[in-house]
């Protein structure tokens, strides 16, 4: 039986670790040809190696997704190699947790560039190809911090809220051209970045996980499953949606947060 993304061409940014790595692997498992982006060439190469070992097809393209010309080059490379672009997964991101009044301009600019500007650049570059094809799916990794105030994440949350809005605008403007755009909002996930931060708090990651509605943190693979669905034809009438994958954190009025 053919995979859910059989013969589709997908670009995944930030695919050297965490959610991006898990999604690139799942896309390949479902039959997609994957262009693996990461700012770290070695990390991108390792992801491609894992896909190849499993019998999939992938190409590494290291680039800084905060730089417009490099993003254009990423999309151009995908089309040059595989002839089209079916899925754009804007996934690269990161945070520098701190109280609002302690965030300097450099930390502010860095978080806006990585979490919001990169999605703008990636979405526009992908749309230029997808409009000509009259088809395509854009999937953006947002965050629950973009829906609810999360202590220490004012800039990150602001940027993540912005990309949710962008996906709705893309859905509204380009839906008649066969293009869908959706966002995923992960809750607290057992990714390297969050685990490192939680380990600086009293009780660490284990104590924080125990407070969650399902008694644990989510996994990168669980986000990847959602990304596969949104990228696939199974989601052909799902457009402009922000999908929480958070173990009910967003369903509860007073969700647990670190103190």
Catalytic residue chosen out of the listed positions 108, 156, 169, 237:
156
Residue 259 has pLDDT above 50, yes or no: no
Residues 122-154 have pLDDT tens digits of 999 999 999 999 999 999 999 999 999 988 999
**In contact, 234 and 8? CB cutoff 8 Å:** no
- Average pLDDT over every residue of 83-108: 97
CATH of domain 9-191+220-238: 3.40.50.720
* pLDDT value of position 198: 87
Residues 71-89 have pLDDT tens digits of 999 999 999 999 999 999 9
Which residue in the block uniquely carries the two structure tokens 């930390």?
A: 107
Give the pair of three-digit tokens for residue 141.
Answer: 């990794």
**In contact, 164 and 146? CB cutoff 8 Å:** yes
Domain coordinates of the chain in residue numbers?
A: 9-191+220-238
Q: How far apart are CA 156 and CA 186, in angstroms?
A: 13
Task: Calculate what percentage of the chain has a pLDDT beyond 90.
Answer: 86
Active site residue 169: no
Residue 254 has pLDDT above 80, yes or no: no
157 to each of 87, 148, 194, 222, how far by Cα in Å?
25, 8, 14, 21
* pLDDT value of position 194: 83
More confident site: 111 or 194? 111
């Amino acid at each position: 039986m053919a995979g859910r993304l059989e013969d589709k061409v997908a670009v995944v940014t930030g695919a050297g670790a965490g959610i991006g790595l898990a999604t690139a692997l799942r896309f390949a498992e479902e039959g997609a040809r994957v262009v693996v982006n990461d700012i770290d060439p070695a990390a991108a190469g390792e992801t491609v190696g894992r896909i190849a070992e499993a019998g999939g097809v992938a190409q590494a393209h290291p680039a800084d997704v905060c730089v417009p010309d490099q993003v254009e080059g990423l999309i151009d490379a995908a089309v040059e190699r595989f002839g089209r672009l079916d899925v754009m997964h804007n996934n690269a991101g990161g945070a520098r947790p701190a109280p609002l009044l302690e965030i300097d301009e450099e930390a502010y600019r860095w978080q806006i560039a990585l979490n919001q500007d990169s999605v703008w650049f990636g979405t526009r570059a992908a749309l230029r190809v997808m409009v000509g094809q009259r088809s395509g799916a854009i999937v953006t990794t947002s965050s629950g911090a973009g829906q609810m105030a999360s202590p220490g994440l004012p800039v990150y949350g602001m940027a993540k809220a912005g990309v949710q809005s962008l996906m709705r605008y893309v859905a509204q403007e380009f839906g008649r051209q066969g293009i869908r755009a959706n966002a995923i909002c992960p809750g607290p996930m057992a990714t390297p970045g969050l685990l490192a931060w939680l380990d600086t708090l009293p009780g660490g990651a284990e104590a924080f996980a125990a407070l969650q509605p399902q008694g644990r943190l989510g996994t990168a693979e669980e986000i990847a499953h959602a990304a596969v669905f949104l990228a696939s034809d199974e989601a052909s009438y799902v457009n402009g949606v922000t999908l929480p994958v958070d173990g009910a954190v967003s369903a509860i009025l007073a969700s647990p947060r670190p103190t």
